[in-house]
């Protein structure tokens, strides 16, 4: 059974390991290419976009794919929309691994905003020290609030021309531990954290550290993300694939 896995997450990597050890599947892992040196994977891997819905449909047909798993990041709404549309056009089954969002716990102080631009405004006019933990793609939004000192933690350096003038970059890849996050927040004298609600355990330690230090978190809400058959884990995705007969690939 030929399977395309849309990846870039810990769940996708875990599923890749499960599929690589199962002779019933001939699977390919697709990565968006946001990092130049992604972790090695046990599956055949392609990197880069497909060229919208039309390009994805063409790739699925040329590769004779039987089913697709969307295990992309919770904020990769466009890719998920393309996956839903492409599977509708080709008649392929689509399973979507949905990572549960974080929920505020007693002691958390969260302000939820719709996007990075709103997060920059929510920081207010009084200068403060901010940890940005939202990836490198949206750091430019904080150039609109240049009065703050920013510490941005990213896997790779940002490439935007417009960035906040007072910006310190920390290049690191999770998972992170609570004690080390507490040390970081204290060392950088952070007043507030800006984060996406990524869910999962790899980067949750910063939320625990903020709780311990009584720091507020400006949380960027998840976008509406189209989905196929909702799956809760890589193991559930594998079981779902086991129960699927090869699709008829309507529209070929």
CATH code for the domain of 48 = 3.40.50.720
In a domain, 153, yes or no: yes
- 114 with 91, same domain: the answer is no
Contacts of 196 (CB under 8 A, 6+ apart): 74, 75, 133, 134, 135, 219, 220, 222
- What is the pLDDT at residue 249? 43
- What is the pLDDT at residue 36? 58
- What is the pLDDT at residue 104? 97
- 84 with 118, same domain: the answer is no
- 75 with 121, same domain: the answer is no
* The length of the chain, given as a count of residues: 252
- 89 with 148, same domain: the answer is no
Strand-pair category, 110-113 with 217-220: parallel
In eight-state DSSP terms, residue 21 is T
Q: Look at the pTM and tell me if it is higher than 0.85.
A: yes
In a domain, 34, yes or no: yes
- 52 with 72, same domain: the answer is yes
The burial class, CB within 10 Å (0-12 / 13-18 / 19+), for 59 is middle
- What is the pLDDT at residue 228? 96
- What is the pLDDT at residue 250? 39
- 175 with 231, same domain: the answer is no
- 11 with 68, same domain: the answer is yes
How crowded is the C-beta side of 235, counted as CA atoms within 13 Å? 0
Residue 204 domain boundaries: 110-220
Total domain count for the chain?
2
Answer yes or no: are the C-beta atoms of 18 and 81 closer than 8 Å: no
In a domain, 238, yes or no: yes
In eight-state DSSP terms, residue 124 is -
- 210 with 236, same domain: the answer is no
Answer yes or no: are the C-beta atoms of 156 and 172 closer than 8 Å: no
- What is the pLDDT at residue 35? 66
- 22 with 95, same domain: the answer is yes
- What is the pLDDT at residue 38? 66
Give 10-residue mean pLDDT values along the chain (252 residues). 94 94 92 71 90 97 97 95 97 96 97 98 98 94 97 90 93 93 98 96 96 98 96 96 62 38
- What is the pLDDT at residue 99? 93
Strand-pair category, 110-113 with 129-133: unpaired
Distance of CA 214 to the CA centre of its chain: 26
The burial class, CB within 10 Å (0-12 / 13-18 / 19+), for 158 is middle
Give the residue from 71, 50, 70 showing the smallest Cα distance to 61: 50
Q: What is the DSSP string of 64-105?
A: T--EEEE---TT-HHHHHHHHHHHHHHT--EEEE-PPPP---
């Amino acid at each position: 059974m030929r399977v395309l896995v849309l990846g870039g997450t810990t769940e996708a990597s875990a599923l890749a390991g499960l599929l690589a050890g199962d002779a019933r599947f001939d699977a390919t892992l697709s990565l968006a290419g946001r990092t130049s040196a992604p972790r090695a994977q046990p599956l055949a891997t392609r990197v880069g976009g497909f060229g919208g819905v039309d390009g994805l449909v063409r790739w699925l047909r040329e590769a004779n794919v039987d089913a697709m798993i969307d295990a992309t990041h919770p904020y990769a709404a466009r890719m998920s929309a393309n996956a839903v549309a492409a599977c509708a056009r080709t008649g392929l089954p689509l399973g979507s691994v949905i990572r549960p969002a974080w929920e505020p716990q007693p002691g958390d102080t969260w302000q939820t905003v719709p996007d990075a631009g709103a997060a920059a405004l929510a920081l207010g006019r009084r200068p403060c020290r901010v940890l940005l933990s939202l990836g490198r793609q949206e750091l430019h939004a904080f150039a609109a609030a240049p009065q703050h000192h920013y510490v941005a933690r990213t896997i790779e350096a940002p490439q935007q021309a417009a960035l906040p003038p007072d910006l310190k970059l920390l290049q690191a890849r999770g998972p992170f531990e609570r004690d080390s996050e507490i040390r970081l927040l204290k060392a950088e004298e952070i007043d507030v954290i800006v984060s996406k609600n990524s869910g999962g355990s790899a980067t949750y330690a910063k939320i625990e550290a903020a709780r311990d230090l009584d720091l507020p978190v400006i949380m960027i809400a998840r976008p509406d993300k189209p989905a196929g058959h909702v799956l809760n884990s890589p193991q559930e995705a594998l079981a779902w694939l086991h129960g699927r007969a090869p699709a008829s690939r309507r529209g070929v």
